[in-house]
Amino acid sequence: MKPSIVYWTGSGNTQIIAEAIQEAIEDLGMQCESNYVSDVTADDVKDSDIFFLGCPSMSGEAVEEYEFRPFLDDLLPHVAGKKVVLFGSYDWGDGEWMVSWNQEMIDSGAEVLDRYQIQWEPNDEQLANVKEKVTSYFKM
Ligand SMILES: Cc1cc2nc3c(=O)[nH]c(=O)nc-3n(C[C@H](O)[C@H](O)[C@H](O)COP(=O)(O)O)c2cc1C
């Protein structure tokens, strides 16, 4: 499986999750960059078989609108039949952004394997859990 990690972060929390995902994949002997969303285009990653997409909850319980949303809109036509894992940090909400984002992926034909929504900065236990789950997808 060819993985891609693409994330947006404002204050670094979602980036920490992205780096844990990258580490877990590299520990399996694969190469995988963790890309800040503005450094790649949907075209660059569209041939992946499994997408790890990260974005925190932003204003109005939504994904970030200026960088992540345009990328996501470009990627959606390419996710049908692909495996997807969504991740991101949040604060005061109830995780609603992840629910609607998940639905959007399903509506586009993706198979959402998992969603990691982590309040504030992830702790060591949460990161270990993320890595364990990531490893499991490649052993399916
Ligand atoms: C402009 C802005 C809007 C936000 N909107 C929400 C929100 O609607 N719901 C929520 O739970 N957290 C919201 N947050 C909090 C962030 O999701 C939270 O701080 C998260 O940890 C940021 O992740 P990051 O460090 O990857 O940027 C908002 C933060 C900012 C700066």
* Three-class DSSP category at 74: helix
Point out the ligand 1 atom lying closest to the alpha carbon of residue 15.
26
The answer to whether residue 41 is domain-embedded is yes
The percent of residues above 70 in pLDDT, for the chain, comes to 100
Helix extents (H) in the chain: 13-27, 42-45, 68-75, 96-107, 124-137
Residue 74 Cβ < 6 Å to ligand 1? no
Whether residue 138 lies inside any domain: the answer is no
> Is position 139 within any domain?
no
In short, whether 96's Cβ falls inside 6 Å of ligand 1 is: no
Domain presence at residue 34: yes
In this prediction the pTM is 0.98
Residue 78 CA to ligand 1 center (angstroms) comes to: 27
Give the number of the atom of ligand 1 that is nearest the alpha carbon of residue 62. 8
pLDDT in tens, 86-115: 999 999 999 999 999 999 999 999 999 999
Distances from the Cα of 124 to the Cα of 1, 19, 35, 53, 131, angstroms: 27, 13, 22, 20, 11
Where residue 62 sits, what CATH number does that domain have? 3.40.50.360
pLDDT band at 139 (very low <50, low <70, confident <90, very high): confident
Atom of ligand 1 minimally distant from the CA of 55 = 26
Per-residue pLDDT, averaged over 36-45, amounts to 98
